[in-house]
A and B are shown apart, each in its own frame.
Chain A
Amino acid sequence: MIRELTCVACPLGCAITVDYNDTEVLSVTGNTCKRGDAYARTEIVNPTRSLATTVKVNGGVHPVVPVRSNKPIPKKMMFECMKTINSVSVDAPVEIGQVIIQDILGTGADIIAANYD
């Protein structure tokens, strides 16, 4: 089977063609870097995305602080992860890079603070 993808690994947005069957990816073409190859393979098997949102801060300068996943999480778990993130809050002061939720929903990704507050 052939699938046309637009790589989201970086802003270049290469047009990638993937040839695959039920068991494996046969070939990846059109990518200009290794990350593109890796992206295409994951995208066929188990697409993943970075997640960026905010989390509630108690006693901070702002009511919320930006957070992100430190590695991509499965695309299909995006909304479940949002639910989990929305159910927690963090006390100020918040440090950039501080782990807010470790290994969110067993994805292996941590949710970390992306700014100070």
Chain B
Amino acid sequence: MSSTLTFPDVFVNASDALNRDSINTTSPWLLAFRERQLQQLKQCSLPTRKTEDWRYSFRHLKMSDAIAKPLPILSLESSTASSLDDSLVDLGGDLVVFVNGHFAESKSRLPSDASYTIKRFSELSEEEALQVSEGSSSDTSSFPFAAINGACLADGIYISIPKNTKLEKPIQLHFHAEGEGTTTPRVFLIAEQGAEATLVEEFTGATQTELLTASVTDIQLNAQSELRYIRLNTEAEQLSHIGLTQVNQNRDSRFKSFCMGLGGPVRRHDLKIKLLEPGAECSLDGVCITLGQQHYDNHTEIEHISAHCQSDESYRCIAGGNSHIVFNGRIMIHRDAQKTLGAMSNKNLLLTSNAEIDSKPELEIYADDVKCAHGTTIGQLDEEELYYLVTRGISPDHAATILTLGFVNELVQKIPNESIKERTEARLENLIKSAFQED
């Protein structure tokens, strides 16, 4: 595997090829959308050591030109089907499955009634298409992968929840990827006034060669709406995932996110929240664990643009083996955002001396009547707690596992879905166990 990537040329070529192949089957707005993103992509360059937003993760971006092509179309009857079935846990609600960037109808279950809209980008009406094109502005200068997503976008999912609709069951989106190339999952969700829903995004997959997932999720929350957002990364080795989630919140809307990073060699997730109108609230929780040579980079940015907004953020990370975890949280309070409350907490556990944790909690504040705080710790398990458990006849490895699990459990318990909670807990326990066995 060569490690050079001719950027952005190879992706520009991939986008051109995509346009050639699908010019007759793609709706005009999507072609125009791709074209706009392509123009942005042409201006991009890959992050380097000097790119502040990528100073800790640039070195993990090891890709070759082979990655710049769409993934092969997989037959759902072949061997992949079993690996997909293994990873797919049905939550009982509406389910949309994408395999290698293509909608897998036989695996999906779309809503039987018309309580809300969920469709593929290829089926959008003009009005809906306009919402997507207008609501998907990405700053690609510091995040070129969003431009890759846009320029190579084959299909996406559009969700619209009408006024005052409260969805009991979660909307489950499952993205599965295999083979060599790039996949570009894209989600656009708009919650109208007073709507309430839970969105689950799960990314799974495996590859023997090189695979890049460049995902983008755009969320628009109108007045008084509420969205619980659960994001699960459970991909296997070799697969790189670089994702962006952007949320725009209007008056009195609430956004709660739960981002679980449970595997994969290179993970990066940028979560950008804009609190546009008074009374908007967000709470961001995240848990991640890395082992072996893995890398996980959490970037969050909360922009308080309007007064009387509130944000609360808590991330817990565990690094074992030779792995590397980054947390970069940024709270920015604009001049007019008076009476803001902002809190950020990042706690990290470093299990081995070959692992590395870098934390960068930033505050940028231009308004005076605010209360803002952040706290960060990097440390290890408490010797006394370990000793206590060991004196009770628990083996040291097991004791360490219990305590480590306890360290993140507080956040895991907050996941608003029983099935995911249990699954996450079980997976975390396995990963933590293997971390202590590695030593």
Are A and B physically bound partners? no
| Residues on B facing A (Cβ under 8 Å) | none
